[in-house]
Amino acid sequence: MKYYYIIIALAISLLAHLFFFSNIHFSFNDITSDEHLFIEMIPIPANSINNDLKKIHNIRSNKQPIISQSKVEDLPSRINESYLKEEINKTEVCELCQPVEEIIIPEKKKSYGKEIQSIMMQYIVFHELPANKGNINNFTLFGDRKNKNANVSNRSEVGILNIEYVINKNSYTISYEAKANGITSLIYSKSLIQKSEGVINEDGIQPNYYLYKYGDKVKNEAFFDWDTKKLKITRQNKENLFDLSEGTQDQLSFMFQFMFLNPLDKMQIPITNAKIFKTYNYQYIEEGQMKSNIGNIDYVHVAKFNYQDPERIDLWLAKDYGFLPFKVSITDEDLSTIIQDIFKIQVEKND
Mean pLDDT by 10 residues, the chain (351 residues): 64 60 49 48 52 52 49 51 57 54 58 89 92 48 43 75 95 95 80 95 94 91 97 93 94 93 86 92 94 95 86 93 94 89 93 72
| Alpha-helical runs (H) found in the chain | 2-21, 46-60, 69-74, 81-96, 183-187, 254-257
Neighbours of 317 (CB within 10 A): 23
Largest CA distance in the chain: 160
Q: ∠ CA 15-18-23 to the nearest 5 degrees?
A: 135
- Phi, psi values for residue 167, rounded to 5°: -110, 135
How distant is the alpha carbon of residue 271 from its chain centre?
23
- Residue 269: the pLDDT is 92
What does the alpha-carbon distance between residue 215 and residue 187 come to, in Å, rounded to a whole number? 13
- Phi, psi values for residue 47, rounded to 5°: -60, -40
In 3D space, the residue among 141, 146, 148, 138 whose CA is nearest the CA of residue 126 turns out to be 141
- Residue 18: the pLDDT is 54
- Residue 184: the pLDDT is 80
- Residue 137: the pLDDT is 46
End-to-end alpha carbon distance in the chain: 130
What does the alpha-carbon distance between residue 316 and residue 270 come to, in Å, rounded to a whole number? 19
C-alpha separations of 124 from 178, 180, 235 in Å: 10, 10, 29
- Residue 12: the pLDDT is 67
Sign of CA dihedral 24, 29, 31, 37: negative
- Residue 300: the pLDDT is 95
What does the alpha-carbon distance between residue 238 and residue 216 come to, in Å, rounded to a whole number? 17
Would you give the DSSP letter of residue 133? S
C-alpha separations of 315 from 197, 204, 263, 318, 339 in Å: 22, 19, 11, 10, 10
Residues 6 or more apart whose Cβ sits within 8 Å of residue 289 = 296, 297, 298, 299
Helix (H, G, I), strand (E, B) or coil at 319: helix
What does the alpha-carbon distance between residue 275 and residue 101 come to, in Å, rounded to a whole number? 58
The predicted model scores a pTM of 0.64
In 3D space, the residue among 301, 298, 311, 302 whose CA is nearest the CA of residue 338 turns out to be 311
Residues 6 or more apart whose Cβ sits within 8 Å of residue 117 = 166, 167, 348, 349, 350
